[in-house]
Amino acid sequence: MAPLAIRVFRWLWIAQLVSNVGSWMQSVGAQWMLVGDQHAALLTALVSAASLLPVFVLSLPAGVLADSLDRRWLLVGSSAFMALAAGLLALLTWLGAAGPAEVLILTFALGCGTALGGPAWAAIQPDLVPRYLIPSASAITSANINIARAFGPALAGALVAWSGPALVFAINAISYLSVIVALLVWPGTPHTGGAVGLGPAIASGLRYVRNAPGVRRITLRSAVFVVPASALWALLAVIAHQVMGQESGGYGLMLGALGVGAVIGALVLPSLRGRLDNNALLSWGTLVYVIGMLAVAFLRSLTAALAMLLVAGVGWVIVLSVLNTAIMLTLPDWVRARSLAIYSVVFMGGQGAGSMVWGFVASAIGPVATLILAAGLLVLGLVTMRIWPLYRETGRLDRTVAPMPDAMPNDAVPASAGPVLIEIAYQVSSANAAAFKQAARALAASRRRTGAITWDLWQDIAEPTQFVEQYRLATWGEHLAQREERITGYDRELERQARALAAPQPRVSHLIRPEHMPRVDRGIAVADIKQGG
Least confident of 113-122, 153-162, 168-177, 514-523: 514-523
Mean pLDDT, to the nearest integer, of 180-185? 85
CA 47 to chain centre: 21
Which residues are 479's β-sheet partners? none
Q: Which amino acid is at 14?
A: I
Which of the two residues, 90 and 522, has the higher pLDDT score? 90
According to DSSP H, which parts of 129-212 are helical?
Answer: 134-163, 165-185, 198-210
177: pLDDT confidence band, cut at 50, 70 and 90?
A: confident
* pLDDT at residue 531, as a whole number: 32
Q: What are the residue ranges of CATH 3.30.70.100 in the chain?
A: 420-530
* pLDDT at residue 188, as a whole number: 63
- The CA angle 129-274-313, to the nearest 5 degrees, is 80
pLDDT in tens, 223-253: 999 999 999 988 888 888 888 887 777 877 8
474 phi/psi in degrees, rounded to 5? -65, -40
Mean pLDDT, to the nearest integer, of 337-366? 84
The angle that helices 54-68 and 40-52 make with each other, rounded to 10 degrees, is: 20
* pLDDT at residue 191, as a whole number: 52
CA 474 to chain centre: 27
532: pLDDT confidence band, cut at 50, 70 and 90?
A: very low
390, 282 Cβ separation under 8 angstroms: yes
With CA atoms as reference, report the closest residue to 153 among 17, 306, 21, 50.
21
239, 369 Cβ separation under 8 angstroms: no
* pLDDT at residue 524, as a whole number: 39
Least confident of 177-186, 207-216, 245-254, 497-506: 245-254
Residue 198 clears pLDDT 50, i.e. is over it: yes
171, 87 Cβ separation under 8 angstroms: no
Interatomic CA distance for residues 64 and 201, integer angstroms: 6
User: Considering the chain, what is the average pLDDT of its residues?
Assistant: 82
Which of the two residues, 431 and 398, has the higher pLDDT score? 431
523: pLDDT confidence band, cut at 50, 70 and 90?
A: very low
* pLDDT at residue 528, as a whole number: 38
| DSSP structure class, residue 100 | H
pLDDT in tens, 485-514: 888 888 889 999 999 999 878 888 888 877
Residues ≥6 apart with Cβ < 8 Å to 533: 524, 525
* pLDDT at residue 359, as a whole number: 84
What are the b/e assignments for 320-336, b being 16+ CB within 10 Å?
Answer: bbbbbbbbbbbbbbbbb
Residues ≥6 apart with Cβ < 8 Å to 263: 143, 146, 147, 150, 313, 317
Q: Which amino acid is at 453?
A: I
Residue 447 clears pLDDT 90, i.e. is over it: yes
69: pLDDT confidence band, cut at 50, 70 and 90?
A: confident
pTM: 0.73
* pLDDT at residue 190, as a whole number: 58
How do strand 520-521 and strand 466-473 relate by DSSP bridges? unpaired
Mean pLDDT, to the nearest integer, of 150-164? 75
Interatomic CA distance for residues 171 and 456, integer angstroms: 58
Mean pLDDT, to the nearest integer, of 364-371? 91
* pLDDT at residue 517, as a whole number: 66
Percent helix / strand / coil, the chain, rounded to 5: 75, 5, 20
Please report, to the nearest 10 degrees, the dihedral formed by the alpha carbons of residues 17, 21, 23, 26 taken in order: -170
Residue 196 clears pLDDT 60, i.e. is over it: no
263, 143 Cβ separation under 8 angstroms: yes
Residue 527 clears pLDDT 70, i.e. is over it: no
The angle that helices 336-365 and 213-238 make with each other, rounded to 10 degrees, is: 40
Mean pLDDT, to the nearest integer, of 20-47? 73
Which of the two residues, 353 and 421, has the higher pLDDT score? 421
What percentage of the chain reaches a pLDDT higher than 70? 89
State whether residue 53 is helix, strand or coil. Answer: coil
* pLDDT at residue 39, as a whole number: 67
The CATH class given to the 420-530 domain equals alpha beta
Residue 35 clears pLDDT 80, i.e. is over it: no
289: pLDDT confidence band, cut at 50, 70 and 90?
A: very high
- Positive or negative torsion for Cα 185, 186, 190, 194: negative
315: pLDDT confidence band, cut at 50, 70 and 90?
A: very high
Residue 195 clears pLDDT 60, i.e. is over it: no
Pick the CATH number of 2-386 from 3.90.1170.50, 1.20.1250.20, 3.30.1280.10, 3.40.190.10: 1.20.1250.20
Which of the two residues, 452 and 6, has the higher pLDDT score? 452
Residue 293 clears pLDDT 50, i.e. is over it: yes
State whether residue 249 is helix, strand or coil. Answer: helix
With CA atoms as reference, report the closest residue to 277 among 197, 152, 394.
394
What separation in angstroms does the CA of 385 have from each of 224, 321, 349, 499? 10, 17, 22, 36
Interatomic CA distance for residues 478 and 480, integer angstroms: 5
Q: What are the residue ranges of CATH 1.20.1250.20 in the chain?
A: 2-386
